[in-house]
């Protein structure tokens, strides 16, 4: 058993180093014709065994979640704190899906240092072997990054936006009462509420659809879901019972190059703590355009396969985290967006009501 486990880890490490080598080689070849703005830096020296390395305290960054670990052979594995010294360029955020917040503030937003593999997680065996996760450290967006996050790609559609909205308090008060109870219930799998068995959820969902949804389009209520606290990503594969990391939903079954036609999602935080939506701010058509030509067929390739390929070829493209307070909701095109939820920093269970439909973009306000 020990030998098999040792062999598995060695194979994982070798695969990751080959992947880094191929990524670096491709970046040297294609850097001059990169579509997004690129800033060149001299390669950094690896900071091994240094107590000074690693991120400072941050309410979105939990160094215990992405920590150094030692493999069976006794060498320290690459960490989530920036030891990808072989990658010498930093890819900046570019225009994609604009962010709209109710107060126009950027204080609820954080930017990651790209993406990484499951080997940087505390519990890598709980992840799919191809899963990608945000790479630490996180930082507050600067003015240039906020300009990119508010800008819209030329490939955007009417559903191409990420918004934080605040449903009327009196409407969701019964839902928040249900959520508060579930948030403090001992977590177990399949904990949640089926809307078919809850008149409170059904009535609230109908009212929410009238406020935020298109009057000519049908909405679908997926129910109230519950996730454990303290996890960098939340979505679990039903068949393998493994966390899949950053991914793209596929409720509509549309091909990847038609996902801009899919419904978007309204997801309300019914818990007691701030939760986070993680996403890469590019629609799938932008993602496909940035992949090597002829490598993938957008009509037949799976959306999450395309997403993982993009993150593999562009490991320094940042992930955005946006805070969703209790009683707030996000609206996002999760079938056209690399994303996942995050419960890091939460003390209670993560509880949310999810609906699918064609939810409108709120008016944009900036500070």
Nearest to 327 by CA among 154, 124, 166, 178: 166
111: part of which helix (H) or strand (E)? strand 109-111
d(CA 233, CA 135): 12
Considering only the C-alpha atoms of the chain, give the largest distance between any 2 of them, rounded to a whole number of Å. 61
pLDDT at 16: 52
Q: What tokens does 355 get? A: 């609906």
CATH number of the domain within which 256 lies: 2.60.120
Whether 122 contacts 65, CB under 8 Å: yes
Whether 77 contacts 17, CB under 8 Å: no
User: Is residue 204 a part of any domain in this protein?
Assistant: yes
User: Is residue 166 a part of any domain in this protein?
Assistant: yes
pLDDT at 90: 59
d(CA 197, CA 181): 17
Burial of 229 (0-12, 13-18, 19+ CB in 10 A): middle
pLDDT at 341: 98
Whether 343 contacts 227, CB under 8 Å: yes
User: Is residue 207 a part of any domain in this protein?
Assistant: yes
Report the predicted TM-score, pTM, of the whole model to 2 decimal places: 0.76
User: Is residue 263 a part of any domain in this protein?
Assistant: yes
pLDDT at 5: 40
Per-residue pLDDT of the chain in tens (367 residues, 90 and over written 9): 434 444 444 445 444 544 454 444 444 433 333 333 333 233 333 333 333 333 333 333 333 332 222 222 222 223 333 333 333 245 789 999 999 998 877 899 999 999 999 999 989 999 999 999 999 999 999 999 999 999 988 777 888 999 999 999 999 999 999 999 999 998 877 677 888 778 999 999 999 999 999 988 999 999 999 999 999 999 998 778 899 999 999 999 899 989 999 999 999 999 999 999 999 999 999 999 999 877 788 788 899 999 999 999 999 999 999 999 999 999 999 999 999 999 999 999 999 999 999 999 887 655 4
User: Is residue 14 a part of any domain in this protein?
Assistant: no
d(CA 339, CA 65): 18
Whether 267 contacts 328, CB under 8 Å: no
The residues that bridge with 227 in the sheet, in sequence order, are: 350
Query: Given the structure tokens 């996942």, which residue do they identify?
Result: 340
CA angle 125, 130, 136 (to 5 degrees): 80
Whether 174 contacts 200, CB under 8 Å: yes
Burial of 70 (0-12, 13-18, 19+ CB in 10 A): exposed
The residues that bridge with 152 in the sheet, in sequence order, are: 96
Burial of 196 (0-12, 13-18, 19+ CB in 10 A): exposed
The residue range of the domain holding 160 is 150-357
Q: How many domains does the chain have?
A: 1
pLDDT at 195: 81
């Amino acid at each position: 058993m020990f030998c098999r486990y040792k062999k598995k880890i060695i194979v994982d490490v070798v695969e990751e180093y080959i992947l880094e080598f191929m990524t670096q080689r491709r970046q040297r070849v294609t850097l001059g014709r990169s579509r997004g703005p690129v800033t060149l830096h001299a390669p950094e020296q690896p900071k091994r065994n240094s107590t000074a390395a690693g991120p400072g305290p941050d309410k979105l960054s939990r160094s215990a979640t992405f920590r150094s670990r030692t493999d069976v052979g006794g060498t320290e594995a690459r960490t989530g704190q920036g030891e990808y010294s072989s990658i010498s360029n930093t890819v900046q955020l570019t225009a994609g899906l604009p962010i709209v917040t109710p107060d126009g503030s950027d204080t609820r937003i954080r930017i990651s240092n790209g993406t990484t593999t499951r080997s940087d997680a505390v519990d890598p065996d709980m992840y799919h072997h191809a899963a990608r996760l945000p790479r630490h450290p996180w930082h507050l967006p600067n003015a240039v990054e906020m300009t990119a996050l508010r800008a819209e790609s030329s490939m955007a559609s009417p559903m191409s936006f990420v918004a934080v909205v605040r449903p009327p308090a009196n409407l969701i008060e019964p839902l928040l009462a249900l959520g508060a109870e579930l948030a403090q219930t001992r977590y177990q799998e399949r904990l949640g509420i089926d809307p078919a068995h809850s008149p409170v959820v059904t009535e609230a969902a109908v009212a929410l659809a009238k406020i935020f949804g298109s009057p000519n389009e049908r909405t679908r209520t997926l129910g109230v879901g519950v996730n454990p606290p303290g996890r960098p990503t939340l979505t679990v594969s039903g068949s393998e019972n493994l966390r899949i990391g950053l991914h793209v939903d596929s409720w509509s079954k549309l091909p990847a190059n038609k996902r801009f036609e899919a419904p978007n999602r309204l997801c309300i935080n019914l818990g007691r703590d701030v939760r986070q939506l993680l996403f890469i701010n590019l629609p799938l058509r932008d993602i496909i355009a940035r992949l090597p030509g002829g490598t993938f067929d957008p009509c037949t390739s799976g959306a999450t396969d395309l997403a993982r390929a993009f993150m593999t070829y562009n490991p320094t493209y940042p992930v955005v985290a946006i805070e969703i307070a209790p009683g707030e909701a996000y609206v996002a095109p999760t079938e056209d967006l690399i994303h996942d939820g995050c419960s890091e920093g939460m003390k209670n269970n993560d509880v949310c009501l999810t609906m699918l439909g064609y939810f409108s973009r709120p008016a944009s306000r900036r500070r």
